[in-house]
Amino acid sequence: MVNQHWIVGKTRITRIEELVGPMFVAEQFLPDYDSHVVAHHRDWLYPNHIDPVSGKLVASMHSWLIETPDHNILIDTCIGNHKERLPIRDWHHLQTPWLLKLKATGMEPEDIDFVMCTHLHVDHVGWNTRLQDGQWLPTFPNARYLFSKQEFDFWQAERSTSATAGFNRVNQQTFDDSVLPIMHLAQLIEGEHEVIADMLRIIPAPGHTPGSILIDLQSAGAGAIFTGDVCHHPLQVYQPDWNSAYCQIPELARSTRKQVLAHCAEHNTLMLPAHFGPDFAGKVSADGSGFKFTFATR
């Protein structure tokens, strides 16, 4: 069981995979999707980012493990096993070896010091908990779970509404089984927050959800940024005005995306999104009035 990893300064970043493959109908997932625009990128899109048979967007569900000299940090925890996720049938009662892949790094769940969720959608919090003796208990009992207070408050308010859309219903269930059971271990963050002095910082990145965050890593002169769902698919680097269908504050999502891409390009920062297909991470650079993306060699 092989995990990919990247070295940033004195830290090691490992991708812990849950699922990868063609998942989303392009025109539904990216409402502004334009096949004529996409044709200009055909050489690099197929087959790693658009499936040539189904035409679906290739996506990955993965976590990022950061090992520093003193701390072990996990960013985003995917969908999780045994969880009620109907009507999203492909995510319902999953049975994946995600936890074994984490252990293949030499890390036990008890070794994790921090768990950071870039936001509280269903595919970013699932392994916060695991089913033990009929109860949802924290998977990482020694960790401090960090996420945005604004994000928590938003989903707590949503939990009291009568959701009709399937995705919203699933997120309400997610709040019950993957967020509430870890709140005694949680720290709710407001604004920018330094987690580890001069190394790891949380930065607000609202738009996809009201309280989405970025995690900025600096080590020995090198930098990386974990962008969550600021960009779901590499096409959005080239077309930053293309939101996903799940961006809850559309204009703010576009503005945040452009700011993040500009920052990555200016500072030569390794960008590690939550859902890009192979090779999963890379560098943004300026390209005329826009941007381009180069996948990073591991």
Q: Whole-model pTM?
A: 0.95
CB-based contact 253:260 (threshold 8 Å): no
Task: Name residues of the chain where pLDDT drops below 50.
Answer: 1
Give the pLDDT score at 169.
85
Give the pLDDT score at 168.
80
Distance CA 279, CA 286 (A): 20
Give the pLDDT score at 160.
81
Q: Walk me through the domains of the chain, giving residue ranges and CATH numbers.
A: 5-295 (3.60.15.10)
Give the pLDDT score at 133.
94
Q: Are strands 200-204 and 186-189 parallel, antiparallel or unpaired?
A: unpaired
* 164 closest CA partner among 172, 155, 176: 172
Q: Are strands 114-116 and 144-148 parallel, antiparallel or unpaired?
A: parallel
CB-based contact 214:225 (threshold 8 Å): yes
Half-sphere exposure of 271 (CA within 13 A, CB side): 30
Return the amino acid letter for 39.
Answer: A
Tens-digit pLDDT profile for residues 83-105: 999 999 999 999 999 999 999 99
Helix spans in the chain (H): 26-29, 35-39, 42-45, 98-103, 149-159, 166-174, 235-238, 250-267
Give the pLDDT score at 163.
65
